[in-house]
Structure formats: structure tokens, C-alpha cells
Amino acid sequence: MRTFIALDVPSAFEDELAGVSRQLASVVEGRFLNRSTYHVTLAFLGDVDEAEARLAMDALDAACDGMEAPALSPTGLGTFGRPHDATLWLGLATQPALMDLAERVRTELRERDIAFDAKAFRPHITLARRARIPRGQLPELLFPAPAVAPSVTLYKSILDQTGATYKPLYRIEF
């Protein structure tokens, strides 16, 4: 099964971010994601079997032990890729609790020999894929107010023609 570990966003933050996404969709072409998919990926594991999924749950328990809930503080928009075929995202401040949690999750996965995408952690929430970013100024946007992540979850990602659906496999509340 295809899996990842992510911070969940609180519902008020999700509501505000969905409003930003609607504003952007009026001027940016692309496939905007459903608000139910908003999350902050801490580690993308890819395909794992049942035994590895159980080890990932153990890693999550160890990583979150004694951790405070990290803050989600928007810093602005960013993209991965080319302007005519980009992934559009909302960046988040690299606050100590957030960065520490990401590092702890990755350390615990390594200690259990669970492979993951080891790219540097860059905290963000994906808003759109295959976006065509127009030249010039985007509209004035009111980003979500800073909030605290309510939980961290091991998700199973199910892909089909319409995109991805995420099924929680294991969750830890802060």
C-alpha cells in the first residue's frame, strides 16, 4: 500500500485555506485539491507491506512521545516545477516544534529500516497540481490565521483517475 505520515490541519484552518484556494482558482488554471486532502507531509513512505506499516506506527508513537503540537503559520505561496505545469502550495514557517517533529519521525523510520523519500523537509500544504501560474500579480489573499496541528496520521493513499483519496491507518492526537 502507498503511504505517508502527515500532520493534519484543524478545521478552521482548512476552511480559511479552502477560501484562499477558491480565490486562486479564479485566476490560476489547474487541478485544485479537495479540502479533505490538506495536510503537511512529514515523510512519504511509498509502498509498504503490513509489517512495515506496523513498524511505521511504532515509529510514529516514538517520534510523538512528549512532543507538543506544532504550530502551522502560513508564510506565502510557492511552487514546485515549471510555471506552466506547477504544484502550487502554501508554505509554513519552519518553527522549532514542527521541524523537530519532522526530524524525529524520519529518525524513528530510519531506526526501523523503513524507507522514505529523504528530500529535505519543506513544510507546505499542496493546493493545486498541474497549475498554470499567470504572469503578473495574483489577487490579494488573506492567508489562514496561525493554528496548531491537532494530530499526526499514517495515511494510505489510493490513486484513481480523479486524484488521490487518503485513508487514515493510524492517528496520534496532540
Structure confidence by residue, pLDDT tens digits, 92-102: 999 999 999 99
pLDDT in tens, 128-170: 999 998 887 788 899 999 999 999 999 999 988 777 889 999 9
The answer to whether the CB of 4 falls within 8 A of the CB of 44 is: yes
User: How many Cα neighbours within 13 Å face the side chain of 9?
Assistant: 27
Rounded to an integer, what distance in angstroms lies between the CA atom of residue 101 and that of residue 67?
7
Q: What is the DSSP string of 54-85?
A: HHHHHHHHHHHTTPPPPEE-EEEEEEEEETTE
- For the chain, how big is the Rg over CA atoms in Å? 16
Rounded to an integer, what distance in angstroms lies between the CA atom of residue 41 and that of residue 104?
13
The cell for 25 is: 482558482
The cell for 100 is: 523537530
Listed range (9-18, 56-65, 78-87, 101-110) with the worst mean pLDDT: 78-87
Among left, alpha and beta (phi > 0; psi -120 to 50; other), residue 83 is alpha
